[in-house]
Chain A
Amino acid sequence: MQTDVKKFAAKPGTHIEMTYFDALMQAQVEEMARDERVVLVGEDVAVYGGVKLLEQFGKNRIWNTPISEGSFTGMGIGAAINGLRPIVDLTVGSFLYLASDQIINQASKLRFMTGGQIDIPIVVRCCMYSVGSNAAQHADRPYPFFMNVPGLKIVSPTGAADIKGLMKSAIRDDDPVLIFEDNQLWTVRGNVPTDPDHIIPIGKADVKREGTDITLIAVAGAIRATMEAVDALSEEGISVEVIDPRTLKPLDHEAFKTSVAKTGRLLIVDNAHRVCNVGSEIAAVMAEEAFYLLKRPIVRLSAPDIHVPFSPALEMDFYPTKKRIMQASRQLL
């Protein structure tokens, strides 16, 4: 799957093809080289993907922590208040719940509660796992949980160029930013600008495929099954416009409305559990602000309100599949 290839076909020498994971690492390396205040903090970060970082930047910039998610996240927040720009890597999305008190009660609130006396330039990274028998405690998609918290910026890039550009934006941002990776996207390749100032602004969605019949908003890892379904649907003569929100907070409602104005039909695919997920929020806002543009009721596909199972037989169809996306699209017409 190469969502960004067309967009960044571009002149030779200005782009390089790489995976989503390598683009993420490159963003960290470039930003750490650019700004000595950027440090990486987390469990096993000096080993997993961090060996090169350790060689380049040394132990004073790469901090392997004890298994104390709540407190090393709080430590990152304190360090951010006191002059650093930490990237706190919580590795597995489910571990974000352990750090949620510090993220919500401290990071999101302290600028407001101190009347703007302090800034908290921290990035909290985590990866969401699926389809690998990780079972329910290693397969959460906690972004809806944090979307209900004021004071946080939340991004969920799906392409190599996007994750590099959004990671750079997150690191350079003066407020707390949560960045949700998806392990299903780590190997996805794309053309990534070599410009060290390649920035994707927070709060801007992107049209990943232009179309005229249906607007399909695919959230985070859902992009993978979505693109497969959209390719197959185009062979049936159904033209789907795919929008990647890229930023989940704040959502780019204008981009959604612009597309729905064209198609009149909206399908939202979100791998998070169904109740109060990103799809719920988008559907609510579209019902409030773009109801008159819709020709059909909004359709949402998501993971069920059931925990992620271990057995491959149970997990296989747990998230919205190519088949389900195709069926829902046909029914929308």
Chain B
Amino acid sequence: MTGTHRSHGHPIGKGAHLNALMAELMGKEDGICKGRGGSMHFADKSVGIITESAIVGGGIPLATGCAFSAKVRGVDQVTLCFFGDGAVNQGAFHESLNMASLWKLAVIYLCENNLYAFTTSLAQSHGQTDIALRAPGYGMPGLTVDGQDVSAVYEAVARAVNRARVGEGPTLIVAETYRFDDHSFRSSSRVLGYRSTEEVERHKRDRDPILLYRNVLLEEGENEENLIAIEDEVTDAVKQALQFALASPMPRPETLPDYMFKSSLPGQSFAAELERS
């Protein structure tokens, strides 16, 4: 699996432990990436995530490569590649979809279309705003799902996984979603004015996937108390992770060069370099 700078939820969805994720957010030694990645790079290999790229679209060729490896090695791995509507306009998207289709690679391209690439809307940046229509140009199916509907997303991805496993190749899935918060700490949409407060509030009120799914479960007869128990469990897990992260030490400055290389190099002295600078 590959993610983006916004992929905080993806590792959690794949079962990553919250402690190491929270510690990474704080740049701590016990962070999942030892404080070398941070908020935009939440990769947890233990749950199959190889990278979360903050170069928009940068993970798409890597995901394609994971699927390519599975094909060469003859294993039934399927790769899930997350990216946003902005990445669709990068060359890497087009080059990668072409190769994946050409070689029938077992990869699912999952575009989380939240309508804005930072401040630039879909209409301002896409000659064809129906992103799923880009797929047929590369000889693969493209479909759009309601990204706020948990079951719809699950079903679409499950179908794509089955298709990939039987050797029919890649699928492009466009999940229509929305970014509730700002692009980053210093880029308030209220100040920048690229979307209205009313629009944001409407999505939060009517289109929150967790609230929507909660209602579905209740309608299907799930007990309210069970749901509250799950929510309490989640709150506790986050509290615990927070405590763990706060207690974790900062990385020691002399460990700066750690993890640069797997095979160390002759005559390379980072210590000397640090001393000099």
The judgment on whether A and B are partners is yes
Q: Which residues of A contact B (CB under 8 A)?
A: 39, 60-61, 65-66, 68, 70-84, 101-102, 105-106, 110-119, 121, 150-151, 153, 173-175, 201-204, 250, 252-254
Contact at A66–B65, with CB atoms within 8 Å? Answer: no
Contact at A82–B65, with CB atoms within 8 Å? Answer: yes
Q: Does B69 sit within 8 A of A, measured CB to CB? A: yes
| Docked CA distance A66–B99 (Å) | 7
Residue among B62, B262, B268 with the highest chain A CB neighbour number at 10 A: B62
Contact A204/B266 with A71-B61, A111-B259 known, Cβ cut-off 8 Å: yes
Contact A114/B265 with A78-B61, A78-B69, A106-B62 known, Cβ cut-off 8 Å: no
Q: Does B267 sit within 8 A of A, measured CB to CB? A: yes
- Select one of A68, A82, A118, A153 contacting B265, CB under 8 A: A153
- Select one of A72, A102, A113, A204 contacting B99, CB under 8 A: A72
A76 CB contacts on chain B under 8 angstroms? 65
Contact at A111–B58, with CB atoms within 8 Å? Answer: no
Contact A71/B91 with A79-B69, A102-B58, A115-B35 known, Cβ cut-off 8 Å: yes
Can you identify 8 A-B contacts, CB atoms within 8 angstroms?
A75-B61, A75-B68, A78-B65, A81-B66, A84-B68, A112-B259, A114-B36, A151-B261
A75 CB contacts on chain B under 8 angstroms? 61-62, 64-65, 68, 96, 99
A65 CB contacts on chain B under 8 angstroms? 99
| Docked CA distance A52–B102 (Å) | 24
Stretch at the interface among B48-56, B167-175, B181-189, B217-225: B48-56
Residue among A80, A113, A203, A204 with the highest chain B CB neighbour number at 10 A: A113
Taken residue by residue from 64 to 106, chain B's Cβ proximity to chain A (1 for < 8 Å, 0 otherwise) reads as 1111111011000100000000000001100110110010000
Contact at A201–B266, with CB atoms within 8 Å? Answer: yes
B37 CB contacts on chain A under 8 angstroms? 113-115
- Chain B contact patch, size range: 35 or more
Contact A106/B53 with A71-B96, A111-B262, A114-B37 known, Cβ cut-off 8 Å: yes
B62 CB contacts on chain A under 8 angstroms? 74-75, 77-78, 81, 106
Chain B's closest residue to A288 (CB) is B276
Contact at B95–A80, with CB atoms within 8 Å? Answer: no
A122 to chain B, nearest CB (A): 9
Contact at A70–B66, with CB atoms within 8 Å? Answer: no
Contact at A174–B50, with CB atoms within 8 Å? Answer: no
Contact at A74–B260, with CB atoms within 8 Å? Answer: no
Contact at A81–B265, with CB atoms within 8 Å? Answer: no
B34 CB contacts on chain A under 8 angstroms? 115-116
Chain B's closest residue to A201 (CB) is B266
B92 CB contacts on chain A under 8 angstroms? 70-71, 74
Sample of 12 more A-B contacts, CB < 8 Å, known A74-B64, A174-B263: A71-B61, A72-B95, A74-B92, A81-B51, A102-B58, A113-B33, A115-B32, A115-B33, A118-B45, A173-B263, A202-B265, A250-B268
Contact A81/B50 with A39-B72, A66-B102, A250-B268 known, Cβ cut-off 8 Å: yes
| Docked CA distance A74–B65 (Å) | 7
| Docked CA distance A203–B268 (Å) | 9
A39 CB contacts on chain B under 8 angstroms? 72
B36 CB contacts on chain A under 8 angstroms? 112-115
Taken residue by residue from 28 to 51, chain B's Cβ proximity to chain A (1 for < 8 Å, 0 otherwise) reads as 000111111100010111000011
Closest 7 CB pairs of A and B: A78-B65, A74-B61, A115-B34, A71-B95, A68-B95, A78-B62, A116-B259
Chain B's closest residue to A253 (CB) is B267
A61 to chain B, nearest CB (A): 7
Contact at A115–B65, with CB atoms within 8 Å? Answer: no
Q: Does B63 sit within 8 A of A, measured CB to CB? A: yes
A201 CB contacts on chain B under 8 angstroms? 266
A177 to chain B, nearest CB (A): 10
| Docked CA distance A91–B88 (Å) | 28
- Select one of B44, B45, B72, B266 contacting A84, CB under 8 A: B72
Q: Does B275 sit within 8 A of A, measured CB to CB? A: no
Chain A's closest residue to B2 (CB) is A78
- Select one of B41, B91, B96, B263 contacting A175, CB under 8 A: B263
Contact at A71–B64, with CB atoms within 8 Å? Answer: yes
Q: Does B254 sit within 8 A of A, measured CB to CB? A: no
Contact at A61–B58, with CB atoms within 8 Å? Answer: no
B88 to chain A, nearest CB (A): 14
B98 CB contacts on chain A under 8 angstroms? 66, 68
Contact at A117–B268, with CB atoms within 8 Å? Answer: no
A149 to chain B, nearest CB (A): 12
B7 to chain A, nearest CB (A): 13
Contact A105/B58 with A78-B69, A114-B41, A115-B33 known, Cβ cut-off 8 Å: yes
Q: Does B258 sit within 8 A of A, measured CB to CB? A: yes
Of residues 81 through 138 on chain B, the ones whose CB sits less than 8 Å from some CB of chain A are 91-92, 95-96, 98-99, 102
Residue among A101, A106, A114 with the highest chain B CB neighbour number at 10 A: A114
| Docked CA distance A150–B268 (Å) | 12
Chain A's closest residue to B107 (CB) is A78
- Select one of B31, B58, B99 contacting A101, CB under 8 A: B58
Chain B's closest residue to A151 (CB) is B260
B74 to chain A, nearest CB (A): 8
